[in-house]
Amino acid sequence: MSDQLLKFMLGDGHVRGALVRLESTWAALQQRRSYPAAITPLVGQMAAASTLLAGSLKFDGSLILQIHGDGPLQLAVAECQPDFGVRATAKIAGDGTAQVPAHADLAALVNAHGKGRCAITLDPRNPDAGHQPYQGIVALNDAHGQALPTLSAVLEQYLAQSEQIESMLLLASDARSVGGLLLQRMPGVLAGRDSPEEDFSRARHLASTLTDAELLGLAPEEVLRRLFWEEDVRIFAPHTPRFHCTCSRERVAGMLRMLGREEVDSILREQGEVDVRCEFCGQGYAFDAVDAAQVFLLPIVQPPVSPGSH
């Protein structure tokens, strides 16, 4: 079965939702990087969650989901592009040296001191078209200061606080697949027989009967049949998420320009070349002295912009 993101609506449209199941995307992510046992499921769930969130927003750009941790996991990132190309990675604290207990839960991994944060960034594909980057940040604690136990709980709180959308999110992962279900109460009151509250709480109740094994093992349409067979379900054309890393030699060159000539020259003197490895896909990009000189020449050799050309 191919990877799939399936959006749907229930009843009078008070409840919308999406299901995602990733297999080949998940295999590709695990092939490129390996993580300690406690971190692997989180990376998979981040990838599934970023796909669900990207699918739920009307936004032309990439969605970047980040968890900044204060425990052994320093950072976990998943990015979903408008065409549902997905990449994800995680960074262990202490430059990869921190010990990660095998059965650490989310709080132990990223919120050991209550200072962990979750950020969602919307990065417009075409910033000139008037779209601005947007970032929302939430803590990993609930309203009473208690550490939230799961990524689902963190993102439900994010959606409630940042988007004012009551949501239910289920995420599951094993070695073979990751799966997710997002249910959202549509804002505003639409005309209809039932109240939106009733529709949402019934949908939530039905969804709560879904097991991890079903979320991981059934195709999205089968999950919908299993949960909502008595409901009026409308499904939209499915999307196909896939692993895709947006790294490129040009982007690395841009990063070196930001780093500055002096810093790059000092690395060249010490190591003979600048070797940059993509943290998402493991692709290496090497720049020797000649390449580096070109990187810093580039802005000068570009033709000057003639007046009135834009």
Interface residues with Zn ion (CB under 5 A)?
245, 247, 278, 280-281, 283
Q: What are phi and psi of 188, to 5 degrees?
A: 85, 155
Contact 29, 88 (CB under 8 A): yes
Given the complex with Zn ion, which of 57 and 286 has the nearer CB atom? 286
Nearest distance, CB of residue 23 and Zn ion, angstroms = 21
Residues making up the chain, counted from first to last: 310
CB burial of 271-302 (b: ≥16 within 10 Å; e: otherwise) equals eeebebebbbbeeebebeeebbeebeeeeeee
CA Rg value for the chain: 22
Given the complex with Zn ion, which of 200 and 285 has the nearer CB atom? 285
Nearest distance, CB of residue 20 and Zn ion, angstroms = 22
For residue 136, the cross-strand partners are: 120
Nearest distance, CB of residue 94 and Zn ion, angstroms = 23
Query: Locate tokens 């990993």: which residue?
Result: 140
Nearest distance, CB of residue 256 and Zn ion, angstroms = 16
Nearest distance, CB of residue 285 and Zn ion, angstroms = 9
Given the complex with Zn ion, which of 24 and 283 has the nearer CB atom? 283
Distance of CA 157 to the CA centre of its chain: 16
CA trace torsion 63, 68, 69, 74 (10° rounding): 90
Given the complex with Zn ion, which of 159 and 281 has the nearer CB atom? 281
Given the complex with Zn ion, which of 79 and 156 has the nearer CB atom? 79
